[in-house]
Amino acid sequence: MSTQPLVIGKFSLGMGDRFAHEAEAQLAACLAARKLGVEIVPVWNKSNREHNIIGSEPTSTRAAADAAVKALGWTAPYFLDADHIGLKTVDRFVGVSDFFTIDVADFIAQPADPAAVKAFVDRHPELVGTLTLAGIDRPFTTTRADVERTAAKFLLAVQEAGKVYRHIVSVKGVGRFVPEISMDETDSPQTPPELLVILAAIADEGVPIQTIAPKFTGRFNKGVDYVGDLAQFEREFNDDLCVIAHAVKRYGLPANLKLSVHSGSDKFSIYPAIRRALAKHGAGVHVKTAGTTWLEEVIGLAEAGGAGLALAKEIYAEALAHMDELCQPYATVIDIDRSKLPAAAVVNAWTSEQFVGALRHDQQNPLYNAHIRQLIHVGFKVAAKMGPRYLEQLKACRESGSRNVTGNLLERHIRPLFL
Ligand SMILES: [Zn+2]
C-alpha cells in the first residue's frame, strides 16, 4: 500500500447511486469531462439514511464503484464517501470508505463547556477586532463577546467531529481517508465570520479536513433549483472562499481545503455564481449530487415507454399515497405544494412525453413540475420495496436510463460548473 496521504483533487463531484446500477453511467460523465479538458474526481456518496431506507450495505456501493472503474478503464483517483455519518453510524463504512462526511449538525448550539469556550477565545485573540481578509472588501468587525457566542455555538460540534475523526484514524490510520465536516442539515446558515471561527476550532481539534460543508444562505431543496437571494449567495460564497484561504495559511489546515456544496444537484441558478467565484479565487469545490441520478432512472423508465412507463407511473402513485411517510426524513429540504400534485389517475393517463416532461429538470418546458420532482426524489423507498421488479425493469430500460444519467451529470451539472 502506498504511504502517500490521500488527497482529493481540485474539482470533485459527489454522485449518489441509490440502487447501485448507475456507477458506469455516472463515471462516463467524468470520462467525457476529462476528454473535454477538465479533471473531475468522482466520489460515490451514499448516506447511512439512504442505506437504511433501501436496506443496502456500503459494501455494495464499493463493489459498484470498483466495477465501473474497471469497466471504463478509469485510472485517476476516485473515492467512496461515508456520507453524513457520526460516531454511532460510522462503523459499517470504515472498511470500504476512503472519504468521510462527519456530520455534526445535531451538535450545533448544544452548550459547550464554558471553560473550553473561554480557553478557545483566549487562544485566538486574532479573531477579535477588525479582521481584514484578502479578497473581502468590508473587514469583519467582531467583539470578544461575538467570538465567545460563536465558539459556544459550534465548539461542541467541532469536538464531536474530532472524536469521530480520531475513531476513524484508529481503524484506518492517518492520511488514509479524506475527512469532511458537514454542518448543512441545520436551521440557520453559517456566516463567513462564523466559518472562520469554526475553521480555527477545527484546526485546534487537529482534524485535517479537506472539505467543509457549511449551510449556505437560501433553500437547497432536493432535486430542484435554488431558492433565495442570488446576490447574497454569491457574496457569501466568495467570502467563504476567502475565509478558507485565510484559515489554510493562518491555522495550517490542508492546502487543498475546499467548500462542499450539499444538495448541490440541480441548483442551476447559482452555478454561474459558483463558477465565477472559483475562477476568481482559483479555488476548488466539491459538489454533492445524489438523488438527481435516481430521478434520471425514473425518467429513463418513463422514456422507454411500455412496462417502463407503467412502472414509473406506479412509483408516482405509491409515492403520492405514502407522501407523509416519505417526506418526513427530508422535511427540512423539500417544499412540496400538494395542490400541484396531480391525482394518480391523471398521471396514469399520461404519455411518455408528458411524464418525462413533468419530471425532467427543464424549467423552460411548460410540462415541468417541481412538486412531482421533489415527491419522486424522496420516493425511492417505493422502488426499494419493489425490489427485483424495479431492478429488472431498470435493466430492461438500460439504454434510456444510462443516457439520461450521463447526460444529466455532464450537460446540466459538469458543463455549467466546470467546462
Ligand atoms: Zn448534506
- What is the chain's alpha carbon radius of gyration, rounded to the nearest angstrom? 21
Residue 375: partners with Cβ closer than 8 Å, 6 or more residues away:
316, 319, 320, 323, 326, 327, 336, 341
Q: Please, what's the b/e burial string for 176-192 (b: 16 or more CB within 10 A of its CB; e: otherwise)?
A: ebbbbbbbbbbeebbbb
Instruction: State the distance from the centre of ligand 1 to the C-alpha of 84, rounded, in angstroms.
Output: 7
Q: Whole-prediction pTM value?
A: 0.96
Pairing of strands 11-15, 285-289: parallel
CA atoms within 13 A on the CB side of 175: 5
Instruction: State the distance from the centre of ligand 1 to the C-alpha of 44, rounded, in angstroms.
Output: 14
Residue 359: partners with Cβ closer than 8 Å, 6 or more residues away:
295, 298, 299, 302, 369, 372, 373, 376
Average pLDDT rounded to a whole number, residues 294-308: 98
Greatest Cα pair distance, the chain, in angstroms, is: 68
Q: Taking Cα atoms as reference points, which of 316, 300, 332, 311 lies closest to residue 377?
A: 316
Instruction: State the distance from the centre of ligand 1 to the C-alpha of 63, rounded, in angstroms.
Output: 23
Q: Taking Cα atoms as reference points, which of 416, 309, 414, 399 lies closest to residue 359?
A: 309
**pLDDT (tens digit, 9 = 90+) per residue, 124-166?**
999 999 999 999 999 999 999 999 999 999 999 999 999 999 9
Share of the chain above pLDDT 90, in %: 95
Instruction: State the distance from the centre of ligand 1 to the C-alpha of 307, rounded, in angstroms.
Output: 34
Instruction: State the distance from the centre of ligand 1 to the C-alpha of 266, rounded, in angstroms.
Output: 14
* The pLDDT of residue 93 is above 80: yes
Instruction: State the distance from the centre of ligand 1 to the C-alpha of 264, rounded, in angstroms.
Output: 9
Average pLDDT rounded to a whole number, residues 261-284: 97
Chain position carrying cell 481545503: 257
347 vs 1, higher pLDDT: 347
Confidence of residue 2 (pLDDT cuts 50, 70, 90): low
**pLDDT (tens digit, 9 = 90+) per residue, 18-66?**
999 999 999 999 999 999 999 999 999 999 989 999 999 999 999 999 9
**pLDDT (tens digit, 9 = 90+) per residue, 100-120?**
999 999 999 899 999 999 999
Element of type H or E holding 131: strand 129-131
